[in-house]
Chains A and B, each alone.
Chain A
Amino acid sequence: MSRLVYSTDNCRVTIKPSPWQEVTKVLPASIRSIISGLPLNILEKLEEIRLRQNRPLILGLSDGDILLGINGKPAVEPLDCYLVTADDIQRVTQLISGCSLYAFDEELKNGFITLPGGHRVGLTGKTVLENGRVRTLKYITGLNIRISREVKGAASPLLPFIIDQRDQSVLNTLLFSPPRCGKTTMLRDIIRQLSNGIPELNFRGVVVGVVDERSELAGCWQGVPQREVGIRTDVLDGCRKSEGMFMLLRSMAPRVIATDEIGTDEDFAALEGVFNAGVKVLTTVHAASLAELNQRPALRNLLNMKVIERFVLLGRSKNIGTIEEIIDGRTMLPLPGKEVEQCLKYLPAL
């Protein structure tokens, strides 16, 4: 269950907990014991733990959801299910914030808190408004703990198509997919490999700047990345993407800037600035198809600028993180060739 990790900095073999073990630390003892008692084949597929007050405890697995019974076994009838209590919700809320909700004002406004290791906890409840904008959340009654995974090598099949091997540069790339298709995991591995260098492609590592607004990509804890993001990667943790991209441009001279889940007009405006500075961009966005991307005005502008050189559609057809399509940004058509076909056939291990 735990993984043996060879740590190069102190030359010691350490035991690193599995992602599900990291998140169970923030669960109350009752739920912790139920989840820890589950068979390993279920735990390895665990993607989400959903807690809704007075409703059943639901686990989101890579192949569907299951309800959990009081005895710790999957249940079918709602009557047999473990019902999440108000006390459970209060406890988890306290534990995810280290009993310091006051230190998470900004996170509560955005509706999520990131745990050490990059696991994200979404929160719902009653919003408190001030001047028409969300000031904070109170009466928190719903939590969704999303388990962040690090899959080294996940991006390997894709890399030849987002690197220009003639001039050893990275192509501006947009990863898009519906939620829970492995965009962040894929982006993290792209960052890691570009930063470390890829001997198979004769690609020397480049300086990558990461604006990690939600602390998911690098999973920073007190500023130190907990996920492997590469030796030449600089991370701006918890910073707004629109500001962070310019900060990195001015201060760290990156060759590539990577950021997750762009969405606001400010993000797109900042991206334009980065393109004009000659720095390459790797980013992700929620959309199920190119047509959906086109329907969003800010994204439409970006598409019309023809600056994105590769669009990569991810999905779950074979497994989470399946590369469904690689689209050339100039022609807006799928890339041809046998290599691309082989890449699309690749079975991901996300």
Chain B
Amino acid sequence: MLKILACLVIVSAGGICGMLVARGYSLRPVELRSLKSALQMLETEITYAATPLAEALGLVAARTDCRLAPLFEETRKELLSMSGCTAKEAWEKALFKFYPRSSLIGCDISILRSLGGALGISDSSGQSKHLRLAMEQIGAELEKAEVSALQHVKLWNYLGFLGGLVIVLIFY
């Protein structure tokens, strides 16, 4: 009886692990898509309305996907604290907190980091160029992420359970 129970636990644990990995693959394109539209909103606020950065970030945070909102909201809070930090530092700080909770991977984060270095330091056409570049790069990553999700989501969902079963068969 105990053996059967242990087998069930191993198979379920394997399945859950597989589903978690698969969830990462499936969520990344969703987050990248939201990120792209959030940056589009930011560009509109900056180039057409010349809204100050902190205010623009607040507006984006209010309108964007709740998974991404903390990145913009944290940066806004840091800027308004007048602690003497620049937009780059505030963005990096928020990114550092946001990264572990997101499904984004290293190359997505490096796009966001290089965007942070350009935020607020040039005229509106300069800002637009940097934001568009980031959006293009995110777009390219999104295409890759979608292909990768198609390939990996099902694979990891099955692999988890099958891995659990293999372990059970080996030790049974």
Contact = CB atoms under 8 A, between A and B. Distances in A.
Interface of A: 25, 27-29, 32, 90-91, 94-95, 97-103, 105, 108, 136
B54 interface: yes
Q: In the complex, which of the residues A32, A101, A103, A105 has the most CB atoms of chain B within 10 Å of its own CB atom?
A: A103
Contacts of A32: 84
Contact of A94 (B46, B51, B86, B127): B86
A101 B86 contact: no
Contacts of A100: 46, 50-54, 56, 120
A97 B120 contact: yes
Contact of A99 (B51, B54, B123, B124): B54
Interface in B8-66: 46-47, 50-54, 56
B84 A101 contact: no
A94 B123 contact: no
Nearest to B123: A102
Interface of B: 46-47, 50-54, 56, 79, 82, 84, 86-87, 90, 119-124, 126-127
A136 to B, nearest CB: 6
Given A94-B120, A94-B121, A102 B84 contact: no
A103 B82 contact: no
A103 B79 contact: no
A25 B126 CA distance: 27
Contacts of B56: 100
B82 A101 contact: no
B54 A136 contact: no
B68 to A, nearest CB: 20
B94 to A, nearest CB: 13
A90 B119 CA distance: 13
Contact of A102 (B82, B90, B127): B127
Given A27-B84, A94-B86, A94-B87, A101 B52 contact: no
A102 B124 contact: yes
Given A101-B120, A102-B123, 7 more contacts: A25-B82, A91-B84, A95-B86, A98-B120, A100-B120, A102-B47, A102-B122
A247 B86 CA distance: 38
A32 B82 CA distance: 12
9 contacts: A29-B84, A91-B84, A94-B87, A99-B53, A99-B79, A99-B121, A100-B52, A100-B120, A103-B52
B79 A98 contact: yes
